[in-house]
């Protein structure tokens, strides 16, 4: 497949990635996760910074590598969570800044099973919820096809 890098530049050739061990960067049936993480401490607390979450995650990655463990690299997108709950004086409706963390189980990295990968995702979700004082954190799984392209 030829992909134009930018108008007027030469075409670069990208193909499905293959790692040194022969793993192919294509999974027809794969799993993807999303973690929804609010950034307000509790319902009335102050907003936490995206940078704090990113630093926390990358510190987890460093520890995983030091201990010879796999980690889950996330794409982190800023978003907003809307919600409501019963209050003493009637319903309360709120919104708060949030982060949406998305990841595919890479066909190129890690030898863990799907169940082991899910356990790692859920461990991260609980660590994030605890560290950032969330009452709840939502983890969603969906089936996807994943293709990893790399420059030939």
Q: What is the pTM of this model?
A: 0.83
Provide the pLDDT for residue 5. 55
Residues of the chain above pLDDT 70, percent: 88
Mean pLDDT of 78-88: 92
Provide the pLDDT for residue 145. 96
| Structure-derived torsion over alpha carbons of residues 39, 41, 42, 46, reported in degrees to the nearest 10 | -100
Provide the pLDDT for residue 43. 58
Mean pLDDT of 45-67: 89
Residues 105-139: tens digit of each pLDDT? 999 987 889 999 999 999 999 999 999 988 889 99
For the chain, which residues make up each domain, given as ranges? 2-151
Provide the pLDDT for residue 24. 93
What is the total residue count of the chain?
A: 152
How many CB atoms lie under 10 A from the CB of residue 116?
Answer: 13
Residues of the chain above pLDDT 90, percent: 68
Does 70 have pLDDT greater than 70? yes
Q: Retrieve residue 128's tokens.
A: 């994030």
| Structure-derived torsion over alpha carbons of residues 19, 23, 29, 30, reported in degrees to the nearest 10 | -60
């Amino acid at each position: 497949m030829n992909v134009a890098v930018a108008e007027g530049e030469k075409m670069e050739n990208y193909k499905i990635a293959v790692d040194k061990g022969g793993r192919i960067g294509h999974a027809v049936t794969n799993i993807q996760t999303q973690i929804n993480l609010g950034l307000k401490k509790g319902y009335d607390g102050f907003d936490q910074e995206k940078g704090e979450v990113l630093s926390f995650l990358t510190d987890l990655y460093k520890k995983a590598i030091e201990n010879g463990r796999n980690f889950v690299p996330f794409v982190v997108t800023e978003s907003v969570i809307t919600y409501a709950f019963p209050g003493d004086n009637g319903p309360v409706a709120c919104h708060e800044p949030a982060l949406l963390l998305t990841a595919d189980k890479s066909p190129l990295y890690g030898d863990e099973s799907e169940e082991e990968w899910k356990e790692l995702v859920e461990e991260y979700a609980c660590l994030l919820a605890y560290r950032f004082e969330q009452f709840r954190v939502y983890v969603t799984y969906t089936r996807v096809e994943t293709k990893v392209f790399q420059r030939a």
